[in-house]
A and B are shown apart, each in its own frame.
Chain A
Amino acid sequence: MRAPAASDIAAGEVLLSVEDVTLSFGGVVALRDVSFDIKKGEIRAIIGPNGAGKTSMLNVINGFYQPQKGSISFKGETRTKMRPYDAADGGIARTFQNVALFKGMSALDNILAGRTLKMKRGWFWQMLRIGPALTEEIEHRKRVEEIIDFLEIQAIRKVPVARLPYGLQKRVELGRALAMEPDLLLLDEPMAGMNLEEKEDMSRFIIDVNDHYGTTIALIEHDMGVVMDLSDRVVVLDHGVKIADATPDEVKKDQAVIDAYLGVAH
């Protein structure tokens, strides 16, 4: 059974919730009894000092890590662990902290790879390049071109991504995630290592994705200014434990947060 389409869930209702998740590696506890939810249509930030378990949380959501305890509900379906394929198939796309692109391929092919699950024709038809497979290929290419246009990366379409500067690689990675037409987009430090101008571009893309496609976004980010500007709600982790979950303004005033995070970092 496929999970119900996200369109069944009204904006503002819970799209994904994490309940009492505990994850440990050997004796090291990365997440302890963490619960929070992501509502459809919102931009949700996950923040916390280094080693707080933010990336682990994303990895649990998209199935790279299987928690020892707890459950994940996505589009109303509850399970104790996610698997990467099911996450992708269900509509969860993500980017990585240290850009994980297919280095040998062009930007275009990287984004096309994001269409993998949307392609339905078997490899036999694709090899022949006729009939339904061809129409399908053209259709996918069209969607990819729209994304290229949206992200303003026409000039690097055919360039092998390994040759691109870091900021553009991040953009291609976002493009690949968008090509999946996700219901939930996980962004792991989308602005790490960017200069001011690149950060502004990326912020604009994130807001546009959220506005125009209605995509729900969960992001990890270190730049507090960006977090405060972009996000609707913020969950704060510290040493694998949730210490706050509120609007950006409230979080800013929260003493526990200031002690654990803002006080340390700034």
Chain B
Amino acid sequence: MASRVSADADTFPKLLVRNARAFGERPAMRHKDLGIWQTWTWAQVLDEARAYAAGLHRLGVRRSDTVAIVGGNRPRLYWSVTAAQMLGAVPVPVYADAVADELAYVLAHADVRFAAVEDQEQVDKILSVSDRLPKLEKLVYDEPKGLRDYDHANLRAIDDVIADGRKALAEDGKLASWLDAEIAAGKGSDVSIILYTSGTTGQSKGVVLSAERCIAAAMDTVAFDRLNERDEALSYLPMAWVGDHYLNYAQQFVAAFCTACTETRDTAMADLREIGPTFFFAPPRIFEQMLTRVMIRMEDAGVLKRAMFRYFIGVARRYGEAILNGQPVPFAGRLLYALGLLLVYGPLKNVLGLSKVRVAYTAGEAIGPDLFSFYRSLGLNLKQLYGQTEAFLYVTAQPDGQIYADTVGPAMPNVDIRIADNGEVLFKSPGMFVSYFKDDLKTGETMTPDGYVKTGDAGFFDAKTGHLKIIDRAKDVGKLRDGTLFPPKYIENKLKFYPNIREAVAYGDGRDFVAVMINIDLTAVGSWAERNNVVYGSYQELAGHPLVYDMIAKNIEETNRSLAEDPVTAGAQVKRFLILHKELDADDGEVTRTQKVRRGFVAERYAPLIAALYDGSAEADISTEVTFEDGRKGSISARVKVRDVATVPVKPAMGKAA
């Protein structure tokens, strides 16, 4: 497999050298600083990375050292990745919003000697757990604000490290040629990066990826979507997430396109508008948030605008996807769609920053079919891919023109998929991981003897299309007491399509019926409350408001109708629900850093509420401990109401017969 990657381009530093030579004057990276977009060409990035590498070497970074990278999407942190790789060291990106404890675990487990971090916040966090990191020697930081008075014995500004390296390279010709030799000495089989999984279950694991496999995987997708040096992407997802490393590093280096870093973590949507990327990658929740914002704006818009929006969104639903897929559409439909493009879809995509997008992907978790169709009907070439960190992102992806909302596409080129006897999806792919760092036991558990990786997901190939269909986590798909299939994610995703519902957690395995806990979306419901003169003082009060309950009940009843349409899911209609008094929060361990709900943990934490869902009581008291961002703990208690919702009667003949 590795033979496809040539020896002079089998590591990322070598690719950077190649890009600087081939596309030296083309933009490689952008970042908004003090309100103005700054741009670096490939030649400049190489120059910065070399100087940085020289500086790091002088600080003591050696081959095979691990270097932690903690922070938001900033050019100097991406260069930290490259500079470390130039020296043969291994970068280990860590989620910037990880609390000190998580951070300490990863840094200790990865044996890091050096860490490149964004700012004072991260420096403070690391210093607070330094007693658990005996191997950590030096910290370098990007943003000097607030760090002036810190003890700089083991602390340096990245800018100073780069300046020092640059000076040394200029003065010492031998150092420069030594660095060139170091870059050339890198091998495709070297460890390129270790990505720690966000850990839906238990402690996170360090996924070791090799350079040649990363590059081989990226080459396949770059060819698949015909990406080139004229493309532009936005970097705004956590650097520690495989998706970002894949898109904004591996693919970027292979295709030589330009990556723009957001100004801050909170400006992503504004930056998206300004940059107008051609290639866009976002997890479903980002698309959800974007849709929510659009819906809120439309609620506040004038009557005429709202009517126009509704009408043309209807037109798009009827014809949009067919047009995008190149299927036959009546002439009148095409005409109406063209008008809609002019009046609604075009301006809308422009506002969202999606007007230049040629290819957009979503992954990370299943996207609600309605949400997915909405964007596609606007003419956005949004596709799903399915994969995981262990695959270096992808296993399957939807090819242009063959999009089915409920499947994730066929195996990508050079990927081999097998369905195990228990329904679990197994794969072998160009980018597949080498091992879990320092955990041969886990590695052994995840790999089959013949070299396939177990995904942990249950799925099957759709007979009609030949595309893979993922139902749920293999261990999550359950059954109601009467044997009816209970796919929690499927139900939750349907609910989460409603702008009012931010998160839904469905229960039903081994129970008599399905019940859900709802998190309302504060932006959407808050704006609704304002429009309807609903007075509330806090999230908790709003969540418990009877009118909010009415509104959510309506959403659930609609969902039930849609569940009832399919005989397989008709039995899994929601019978009871409650609205949680607080948002599920990663700091409290209720969701992962990538916002996936930890179902089991939530069930334990809110046991009294679940009991109330099933014992028929109208309300229940709950008191939970919460963690503030600074690590302090407090507790919230509330009385939460439980409601019944109407279900569509299921024809017993069909339900029982199946």
Contacts and interface: CB of A to CB of B under 8 A. Distances in A.
Interface string B247-268: 0000000000000000110110
B76 to A, nearest CB: 16
Contacts, number: 37
The main secondary structure of chain A at its interface with chain B is helix
B629 interface: yes
Contacts of B145: 150, 208
A155 B35 contact: no
A158 interface: yes
B630 A149 contact: no
A152 interface: yes
B331 interface: no
Interface in A194-228: 196-197, 200, 204, 208, 211-212
B628 interface: yes
A197 B263 contact: no
Question: Size range of the interface on A?
Answer: 10 to 19
Given A197-B630, A208-B146, A158 B34 contact: no
Contacts of A149: 34
A141 B35 contact: yes
A146 B632 CA distance: 32
Interface string A68-91: 000000000000000000000000
B607 interface: no
Contacts of B290: none
A208 B148 CA distance: 11
B59 to A, nearest CB: 27
B181 interface: no
Interface in A123-176: 141-142, 145-146, 148-150, 152, 154-155, 157-158
A208 B629 CA distance: 21
Interface string B132-167: 000000000000011011000000000000000000
A152 B72 CA distance: 14
Contact of B266 (A145, A154, A211): A154
Contact of B34 (A146, A200, A212): A146
Contact of A155 (B149, B270, B628, B632): B270
A155 B629 contact: no
B34 A142 contact: yes
B21 to A, nearest CB: 35
B34 A196 contact: no
B35 A148 contact: yes
Interface string B627-641: 011101000000000
Interface string B112-150: 000000000000000000000000000000000110110
A151 B217 CA distance: 42
A9 to B, nearest CB: 24
A19 to B, nearest CB: 36
Contacts of A158: 270
B34 A155 contact: no
A210 to B, nearest CB: 13
A142 B36 CA distance: 10
Interface of A: 141-142, 145-146, 148-150, 152, 154-155, 157-158, 196-197, 200, 204, 208, 211-212
13 contacts: A146-B34, A148-B35, A150-B145, A152-B264, A154-B263, A154-B264, A154-B266, A155-B263, A196-B628, A197-B629, A197-B630, A200-B630, A211-B149
